[in-house]
Structure 1
């Protein structure tokens, strides 16, 4: 009998810990510290910059000037729960369990070599930027990107008519949510954007099995208690309908157990000027992120076609 009771206690403890950890990640993840910079990693000169989001939240990042200016600018948006560099995926308390390391600097280098200015910055609640709790997976983070656009347009190095964006995961969502709000973005790449409720359900089922399905409701309740909208309302596909004439390239890995090809395909269908999407063969969600980092030529070609 005592063994049976202890088993129940252990199961309940695992259940509570799973809820607590998942809720923390959803509401306000532990921040990842910056572990390098463009000079150390790429030998590139850069400027530490700080600017306000459209709603006043202070954001921090790096501005890497092009070889010759004025020139186009690429704004790179990281995923969740990363920072402007990517993720080391080595912090049990700070990373999404099951994550793999991603370093965005090779993409930065490729953009710089094609004479782009590059802005890499931490979205609100991540890295060194100020907090806007809870995280809303692009819905309110669009204010960050709109602030970044306003900032780069103020710089003499930037051609204000040649602004492009690349967003990963939550950063991809942010791009999609931002497109109806501005005509300044001339081309956008969204790498594995997702419907938050679908992602959450698929992720927890993959990582926790049956327990994952049971914890969805308490996590939703905790998320709402922190002032968040229902996750069912976080639907980037509806924002995609308002993307106007901005060309958008979507990228989604075929082996992503957390996201969904069908989910991204619905965004492609909704986006007025979506180009042929990329569906690289992968065996993990992080495979498509790595694909874009390893093969930036397709992104560069897309931008070149859009900018001329």
Structure 2
């Protein structure tokens, strides 16, 4: 092979690698700033629950859409209400896990409506809503993995205050990942959360490292700084500046139960334990057996009595 031909081949290979890298960086940065939306695939009526389509503003005015599911008349909880706060790229129903990335990452469907049904059966009012940039709620990029989304949770709490059937002193929240972070960011801002369950909250820089390593292997460590820089350039937010533990430290007297999968390749028990330690009334973590993050999400759905017993103690 001639030297010139070898140079052309190396140049072609370098260009191909650079092109693939650029596509990966653009895809993930775009997904972080404003993810593609999952459409709603069912409704509470399919599980025999009456509901209202509702809209309300986030604390900073962003329009949010959701469902209010009133408790059965004979429920006996006297106004106790649970808010469900979903994760990044999901919607109020959870995650359909139906795209190519879900197949590559091993994600499995998460049906939050099953958890809502179990809590409804126990006599709770339920509020399910789409966070900003997700589902049917308004666009307001960038996604900040709980920091700005805390405004959505504050708006949900304010909306519940307008409903006469809701006891304002008996409101609980279950947050999943980004939704759990929104809970932690909200703790110093309100006394209206009677109790909360934080399912796999995360320090975003730690999560990004695990996610990139699991999905891209050794190349993840090379590509991640480019993704982080691109996200920061478009959003004005640095991942390492997103520190829910700082907010959680001002959480006051709100009891928060932490849940984390033991062998989660994207998050870590150490990170969640640090978040729990920073939360004044943090409990757990409740460690879930499994080797994938989605097994941690599924735990409460498969074992709703854990949530029922926790909320009975504090708001039920």
TM range (shorter): over 0.9
Question: What is the aligned partner in structure 2 of residue 48 from structure 1?
Answer: 53
The structure 1 segments of at least 4 consecutive aligned residues displaced by more than 6 Å after TM superposition are 93-96
Question: What is the aligned partner in structure 2 of residue 245 from structure 1?
Answer: 253
Cα distance in 1 between the residues matched to 2:71 and 2:231? 41
Residue 174 (structure 1) aligned with residue 182 (structure 2)? yes
User: Which of 147, 157, 169 is matched with 2:155 structurally?
Assistant: 147
Report the 3-state secondary structure (helix = DSSP H, G, I; strand = E; otherwise coil) of the residue aligned with 2:50: coil
Query: Conserved in 1, the CA contact under 8 Å of 2:66 and 2:129?
Result: yes
Question: What is the aligned partner in structure 2 of residue 15 from structure 1?
Answer: 21
Question: What is the aligned partner in structure 1 of residue 292 from structure 2?
Answer: 284
Cα distance in 1 between the residues matched to 2:262 and 2:197? 17
Query: Conserved in 2, the CA contact under 8 Å of 1:83 and 1:122?
Result: yes
Question: What is the aligned partner in structure 2 of residue 210 from structure 1?
Answer: 218
Query: Conserved in 1, the CA contact under 8 Å of 2:25 and 2:230?
Result: no
RMSD of equivalent CA atoms: 1.7
Residue 185 (structure 1) aligned with residue 193 (structure 2)? yes
Cα distance in 1 between the residues matched to 2:236 and 2:103? 21
Provide Cα deviations, 1:53-96, integer angstroms capped at 9, x if missing partner.
00000000000001138511100001111000011111237999
Cα distance in 2 between the residues matched to 1:35 and 1:95? 19
* Higher-Rg member (1/2): 2
Deviation of residue 22 (structure 1)? 1.0
Alignment of 1:216-235 (within 5 A): 216-235=224-243
Cα distance in 2 between the residues matched to 1:138 and 1:75? 15
Question: What is the aligned partner in structure 2 of residue 123 from structure 1?
Answer: 131
Cα distance in 1 between the residues matched to 2:172 and 2:180? 13
Question: What is the aligned partner in structure 2 of residue 63 from structure 1?
Answer: 68
Question: What is the aligned partner in structure 1 of residue 170 from structure 2?
Answer: 162
* Greater Cα shift, 198-207 or 2-11: 2-11
Runs (5+) with no aligned partner, structure 2: 1-5
Query: Conserved in 1, the CA contact under 8 Å of 2:51 and 2:67?
Result: yes
Cα distance in 2 between the residues matched to 1:95 and 1:108? 26
Q: How many residues get paired?
A: 307
Question: What is the aligned partner in structure 2 of residue 113 from structure 1?
Answer: 121
Residue 195 to residue 206, structure 1, CA distance change in 2 (3 Å):
same
